[in-house]
Structures are given as structure tokens and as C-alpha cells.
Amino acid sequence: MMLRANGLEFACDVAGEGPDVALCLHGFPESRFSWRYQLPVLADAGWRTVAPDLRGYGGSSRPSGKAAYHIDHLVDDVAAMFDALGARRKLLVAHDWGAAIAWVVAMRRAVPLDGLIIMNVPHPTVFGELIAHYWPQRLKSWYVAFFQIPSLPEFLLRQRRAEAIANAFLNMAVNKAMFPPEVLEVYRQNALQPGALTAMINYYRANLGLLDEVAAQITVPTLMLWGEEDKALDLKLTENYGRHVRDFTLQRFPNVSHWVQQEAPDAVNAAMLAWLREKRLVPAEMRL
């Protein structure tokens, strides 16, 4: 399905129907395909589940210029997609860069959310406080500085049919069997589209000030799911959420990498369903 919102076209995978919409936001260097295991489960739980390619990715519109990928536009995309879908209840499910966007949506109260599910990306303030003094996380975040270099990251990531994109999954994954060649090929092909790599990296270039976002306390019920073997984000980033999120639930998954919803889909889906029942975010007959 193509969804028009905020002046752009978004390629979406959809499961389920009805006015209660779960919007699933992917990360870097992924696409809507990363939610293939979650769409039918959330749809069975009563949510019309929509997974778009974010702007610049896959089959969605690819505006030019770094400024087009600033967090203000990314937040506006989310609000406009919910509006275009005619959403009554609104659930935001997000991973990696999608989760960074989702945190800001909730902090700004840009959308009246009913629930927020975050996967393997910390609250911006938590990240900023840790990286200010914790060298292990500074070292893990080296790639953010590398991505600021013009053109070179795109050139290197494009080589050998975007082999580095495939390796981003394989090198980080614990269970590499979840990323067979046919799965990696989807991400390689997306990255090889004209202009796609620049658009994807512009998320990093346009948002260096994201850690300065004013951190109003989040009041929407929030579930954070975290693969403990994340090589890019330290486990300490799951701590100290009490003053940032009023209703916060954390579930960590040992022996699972950053790619949590793809690498451990059964465990992730079970955790989401249990939390949705607890927060009364599924139909009454499913709350037992």
C-alpha cells in the first residue's frame, strides 16, 4: 500500500483492519520488511498494523538534502501517517532510528499515543547523560562521527553490492541463521537504489542536536525491549528511566543482538502481547 502523508508517499505493509492503528517504525539500515514477524501478531491482537518505509528508504519518497531528514520532519511524518490512516487508538512500535523518532514523538506529545513500544534505542536524555562521561559508549558510537564525512560513507557502503549493509546484520547478530542470504538481499537492494544511502545516512547528519531535545516526562505507557548483546549500545542505557517515563516496563533478552525483533521474534511478540494485555490495549476477550 502507498500512503500519502506530510506531502510524501510512504510504501507500507499492512495487516489487519479497523480504527486502532499500530504504526511500526524501522531503523538503519532496515526497511518495513524488518517487521515481517510482528505484523500478523499485532493484527491478531486487534490492531491494524502498518509498517512504512521511512522517508528516504525503500519504496517511499526520497527528498533531497540533509535538512529534509531533521527530526522535526520525521515527527511530522508520524503524526501525518496516523491522521491519514484515520487512527482512533494509536500504538507506536519502533526500533533503532524509528525508536529515536518515537521517543521524540512521545516527548513532544506530537501524537496522543495510547501505547509506546521501543526496541534497542535509549531515551535521548539517557543516552546524552551516559555518553558525556562513559568512554565505552563513546567508542561504540564511532560510526556517528564517520557518517558526518561527505560522500565517503556512501561510497564505502555501496561497494560489492552493499556488502557492508549485509555485514551490519551478520556481524552484530548472535543467531546469524535469522539473516539468510535472501533476507540480506532485501536490505542490500534497498541500499543500492539511487540516492538511498545518502538519505539513510542523512538521518545521522541532520540530527546531531537530538540529544539536546527538551525532555518532558513521557506519560504514555511505555515498554522497552532490549537485546542484551547490542554491540552499538551499552546495556547501561536501559537504566535510570524513572524521571523520564512515568509508566515504564523494561524487558531484556539475553543472547540477542541489536536486531531484536528479527532475531528473537517469538520472544519479542510474546512480550508485546503480555504487555498489551496488562495495559488493556487489546480487545477485552484477549486480556485473560
241 in catalytic set: no
Choosing from 96, 114, 230, 234, the catalytic residue is: 96
Identify the residue whose cell numbers are 560513507.
153
96 in catalytic set: yes
143 in catalytic set: no
Choosing from 53, 204, 234, 241, the catalytic residue is: 204
Choosing from 70, 123, 244, 258, the catalytic residue is: 258
Catalytic residues: 96, 204, 258
